[in-house]
Amino acid sequence: MKTVLVTGAYGFIGKNLVATLEELPNFKIIKYGRDDTFKDLKTYLSKVDFIYHLAGVNRSENILDFKNGNTSLTEELVNTLKFTGRKIPILFSSSIQAELDNPYGISKKNAEDILLEYGKENNANIYIYRLPNVFGKWGKPNYNSVVTTWCYNIANNLPIQISKAGRKLNLVYIDDVVDEFIAALNECENRNHDTFCSIKRTFHVTLEELAKMLYSFKESRKTLIMQNFDDDLHKFLYSTYLSYLPENNFGYNLKMIRDKRGWLTEFIKSKEFGQIFISQTKPGITRGNHWHHTKVEKFLVIQGEAVIKFRNIKNEDIIEYKVSDKELEVLDIPPGYTHSITNTGNLDLITLFWANEFFDSERSDTYFKEV
């Protein structure tokens, strides 16, 4: 059993790290937060095998807060370790701003120097990560990053401000940060050629591009068009955006087209994937009796019983497939075959459809012909 101390355990990175460590076997986690004292810290340090030093002040109107929250706390931690004589590995979440001449950057740079000196004098492993903008769930709006703030604002119908649209951000995703931090715990860190360690995967995006992506996530509830999640940045940003939705706004309605046959509704659209839609068909009712030149579809009955019929439009031979929710079977709908689906049961028929392209009323590629 390895005991780890996490300072800043209730902050953005801390909460994500602790949540992951709690799912791993053979770890005991001691959490240090704002309500703990230096006396508590001394007690904790006597019990631990590894330190994640994540506590710090990112933003404040009082310049002294940076010194106290970043430099002084690190100094207290190191002095306590020196007093106990224990050589405990320390991982420190610094910032790329440690290279800059501002109060926050200076306080981080001073904390780095304290840790490096301690590591050199005591032959202790020190892992310093100069993190760029970190994004992901559980961040604090108007504090942790522009991604956090914009996700929160857009999800809550608040405006955002873009002062320099072309400014490029260097981003890392919280799960990648946590994975790397755990790798360092196992002495498998991604160490640079110099003093510092780094997160292997980074993303680059301009403020204008970021805003466009986040607004597209919001609009997808209306357009039903999803981004291409083959791009990890889009995938991770979408997950981050959803984590800031108000808890009373997780759901949204779909437009249901109703007629005497039942109803039909579109669910999801994607330029890369096509679209998914769902229908309800009343007993005895037939849908379809049309064919396509290029468009292809898949039918999946998830409630009820049905007969799906096909006929190549160049001959008269009819093909039938009986399907039901008793044993799920997907039917491919090839081009050039007129096709129909009939509810042959006593219950409403619920069918899930996929098409390889959006429905376009101007170019529907749909031609009616009885099977």
**DSSP assignments along 19-75, one per residue:** HHHTTSTTEEEEEE-TT--HHHHHHHHTT-SEEEE-------SSHHHHIIIIIIHHH
Strand partners, 172: 134
Q: pLDDT, tens digit, for every residue of 225-257?
A: 998 888 999 999 999 999 999 999 999 999 999
Q: What is the structure's pLDDT at 213?
A: 96
| Mean pLDDT score, 332-336 | 97
Rg of the chain on CA atoms, in Å = 29
Q: What is the structure's pLDDT at 103?
A: 74
- Residue 43: phi and psi, rounded to 5, are -65, -45
pLDDT band at 180 (very low <50, low <70, confident <90, very high): very high
pLDDT band at 66 (very low <50, low <70, confident <90, very high): low
Model's pTM, two decimal places? 0.90
| Mean pLDDT score, 359-370 | 89
Contact (Cβ atoms closer than 8 angstroms) between residue 309 and residue 344: no
Contact (Cβ atoms closer than 8 angstroms) between residue 352 and residue 306: no
Q: pLDDT, tens digit, for every residue of 16-31?
A: 999 999 999 988 999 9
Question: What six digits make up the tokens of 125?
Answer: 């492993």
pLDDT band at 70 (very low <50, low <70, confident <90, very high): low
Strand partners, 53: 7, 92
Mean pLDDT rounded to a whole number for the chain: 91
Q: Is the pLDDT of residue 59 over 70?
A: no
Top-confidence residue, 341 or 96: 341
Contact (Cβ atoms closer than 8 angstroms) between residue 105 and residue 172: no
Q: What is the structure's pLDDT at 64?
A: 54
pLDDT band at 100 (very low <50, low <70, confident <90, very high): confident
DSSP code for 335: T
Active site residues: 104
Q: What is the structure's pLDDT at 77?
A: 86
Q: pLDDT, tens digit, for every residue of 221-232?
A: 999 999 888 899
pLDDT band at 75 (very low <50, low <70, confident <90, very high): confident
| Mean pLDDT score, 282-298 | 97
Q: Is the pLDDT of residue 92 over 60?
A: yes
Q: What is the structure's pLDDT at 193?
A: 78
Top-confidence residue, 67 or 208: 208
